[in-house]
Structure 1
């Protein structure tokens, strides 16, 4: 199948049934959607912006997840892989992101029924209906979707689909360093001294941080992982210092509570607490950043702290402030989003981070994920908007329900279940952005 095969020029009454479902993103949830569509006998094509499947997971591959293998593999994907001789790694062991890719996601993406439908290096610029902006209603739901894409060679074209599953995640759209949410004033001046969340401090990015003063901004587990990596680096590289900048009085998300569902997550919090107590990490709390500026080779962060305007000087800034969904590409799609979290309106109350943690989110499916745009679904981390409570097992159940609905199996689509052990199934917040998992 070529891209041109997806864009016939003649619109026919039954054309929708001949078109594939377009999946945006070849991460864990996008590949899970592909596996479920295969089981349902529904054609699909996957558009992945990276040059390989699971590109975002590869970016934070050095980070170990909180959850063991038994909670990280989608059932339909497992069935497909095992039919080709694959075996589940040690069920009780928690893998790194790289291990998740090498031992699960890459083999899944490499299977011929998926690999033949996977298009890498394809950026989806926008989604609409063929010949219809969001204001036009006549025959809207009988009209194919049109995805505007940019290929690796830079060509821009439109392709058609019967339905769209947006599993593009949020890793590539981080929150701003600015406390106001807008792009930080002066960001262009300091951009070369600001890194994304979860840099590989002890590996690929070591030279950037060695001997430097690094300020990690953010109060979640991404920040905690980076802080501990920097503390370890400081033991071997003289002159390496670490500051933890948070907006509130304390980092409530990095908890070392003995009641934590996951022992590894609690241990992470305990290690950070100990490093702070030992003086390895300087904490700058209550700091609301309003501007960044360059001072020679250094960076100055200007902000409000305890009612005063203060300046913090550092060499490197790590933006671990969380993530948000990219909604610009969906401007011509009719969405119904919660005004605070930017998640689907019926899903938002179930994932409110002020009420729920990873393990307390109820299972949900096509009903909670549906928008006024029939046949369009946002799934995975992106479906959680700005809430940091996403977990992979929930994403797998999302796409199982959505693909059942696309197949016309409304009974299976409505029957959403998520059987979790007492320990929960959260992993790290690396790919999806926020407190729970990738």
Structure 2
């Protein structure tokens, strides 16, 4: 069954006339893309697998952004909200995920303009060109995209003149194994929690009085470690071990020169906890296996050239995320082999190469693929790189929207000023986290 959406003509190609731009994901970047396009008179449909906007953010709503409000809202979205009486939160305050949803993203999704175009409970399971798989070339540029949708009432297809995939990466966490492979021991997997658990709230009983290993060298790890340190101070037997693959956690420690105060404080507070022995740091540990023996989770591998095993009650995988590209398999993508980001963007964000807390301005040109008018935006556009800020995604979709609206010059006048981390490192372990 094909889902019909009645929209005014949007292109001169008769096969594309009347078709919307399909946006995958009703997170902050997806809704920003919709706001940017609607502001330019373009027709859109937003396809969201969850039952409301920001479904992934709900899972870490207890965690605060290290960016203040001024860096986490989109300009076009703000203009739309203000038409309906919205008042912006205090610009310098750092919201929690829950506050971000309550005070910005959900009101945005509930504006009449966006409410009319969002389809909840709709998961995109495939994207192709109508009537042709990725091997067919004749007439390809004139064919609309066809999206395969899974909904409560069954399967449908939807045709679109363009596709913006802003579905994020939160549902695809990286493994704690140095190989990147999944853990096959079911008992061990059950002892490993995903990133950003609610340590001091809903998940407190799982951590209090137990030994937890946190694996990862990014800000998700730092957030969890700082909360676990509160339990350690309660003297209830809680132990915390922090495992990183690098020789030193330079990136997460950050710098006093960080222009985002909360991000800088995150690193300095964590460094003090390690120095004071509240958190035990195990560096240079490459985990090869995870298994349960007795009543303990055993993480085994190599450390500084020798075999090493660490036993604990449980672990938290704060090892980052990866993009789900399977449903785009029948489209033609130009993706980097290492970072799994659009090829032209990868060199700007590759943590093995990128040495400072800034990202060069980029937009539609860097995000383009062989199938024209197909874009991966937001966190997913960064592939496995950990350097994403919402400001980056907002500028991406502003550029894409301008291009789809026919203003190609404005689309290529990209401007992106990100707050510096104060961290510069030329080694792979240092990387950056803007």
The TM-score by the shorter chain falls in which range? over 0.9
TM-score by length of 1: 0.91
Q: Is the CA contact 1:216–1:318 (under 8 Å) kept in the aligned structure 2?
A: yes
Contact 1:7 1:160 in 2 (8 A): no
Moved more, 260-269 or 67-76: 260-269
Q: Secondary structure at the match of 1:4?
A: coil
Distance 2:308 2:99 in 1: 43
* 1:237/1:145 CA distance change after superposition, 3 Å: farther
Aligned to 1:130: 130
5 Å-filtered alignment, 1:24-423, equals 24-152=24-152, 155-186=154-185, 188-236=186-234, 238-356=236-354, 359-419=357-417
Asked whether the 8 Å contact 1:221–1:435 carries over to 2, the reply is: no
2:22–2:164 CA contact under 8 A, matched in 1: yes
Q: CA deviation at 1:37?
A: 1.1
Distance 2:231 2:37 in 1: 45
- Measured in 2, the distance between the counterparts of 1:31 and 1:259 equals 33
**Structure 2 Cα separation of the partners of residues 317 and 162 of structure 1:** 45
CA separation in 2, counterparts of 1:6 and 1:435? 43
Q: Secondary structure at the match of 1:35?
A: helix
Q: TM-score with structure 2 length normalisation?
A: 0.92
After TM superposition, give the deviation of residue 233 of structure 1 in Å.
Answer: 2.1
Relative to structure 1, the CA distance from residue 152 to residue 318 in structure 2 (aligned partners, 3 Å threshold; closer, same or farther) is farther
User: CA shift at 1:157, angstroms?
Assistant: 2.6
SS at match of 1:17: coil
- Partner in structure 2 of residue 428 of structure 1: none
* Cα shift at 1:252: 1.9
Kindly provide the CA deviation profile for residues 189-211 of structure 1, in whole angstroms up to 9, marking residues without a partner as x: 32221111111101121122122
- RMSD over aligned Cα, in angstroms? 2.3
After TM superposition, the structure 1 stretch with the greater mean CA deviation from structure 2, 111-120 or 216-225, is 111-120
Q: Give, in whole Å, the separation in 1 of the partners of 2:355 and 2:164.
A: 25
- How far the C-alpha of 1:284 sits from its partner, in A, is 1.6
Whether the 8 Å CA contact 2:251–2:433 is kept in 1: the answer is: no
Offset, 1:212: 1.4
1:273-294 deviations in Å (ceiling 9; x for gaps): 1111221111122111111112
Report if the CA contact (8 A) 1:20-1:163 is conserved.
yes
**Gap change, CA 1:367 and 1:435, over 3 Å in 2:** same
- The offset of 1:419, in angstroms, is 4.3
CA deviations on 1:124-144 (whole Å, 9 max, x unpaired) are 112111221100011112111
Note if contact 2:60-2:198 (Cα within 8 Å) is conserved in structure 1.
Answer: yes
1:198-247 CA-to-partner distances (Å, cap 9, x unmatched) read: 11101121122122111100011110110011111233361211110111
- Counterpart CA distance in 1 for 2:252 and 2:417 is 26
Give 3-state SS (helix, strand or coil) of 1:274's partner. Answer: helix
CA offset at residue 6 of structure 1?
4.4
CA contact (8 A) 2:253 2:270 kept: no
The unaligned stretches of length 5 or more in structure 1 are: 426-433
1:132-172 CA distance string (max 9 Å, x none) = 1100011112111111222245x233222111000011111
Q: CA 1:199–1:237 in 2, change beyond 3 Å: closer, same or farther? A: farther
The answer (yes or no) to whether the contact 2:34–2:114 under 8 Å persists in 1 is: yes
User: Which structure 1 residue ranges, 4+ long, deviate > 6 Å from structure 2?
Assistant: none
Unpaired runs of 5+ residues, structure 2, are 423-430
Distance in 2, Cα, partners of 1:435 & 1:383: 17
> 1:7 deviation in Å?
10
What CA distance in whole angstroms lies between the structure 1 residues aligned with 2:77 and 2:69? 13
Asked if structure 1 preserves the Cα contact closer than 8 Å seen for 2:257 and 2:421, the reply is: no
Q: Secondary structure at the match of 1:253?
A: helix
* Conserved? CA contact 1:256–1:266, under 8 Å: yes
Aligned residues: 423
Deviation larger for 12-21 or 188-197: 12-21
Q: CA deviation at 1:3?
A: 7.1
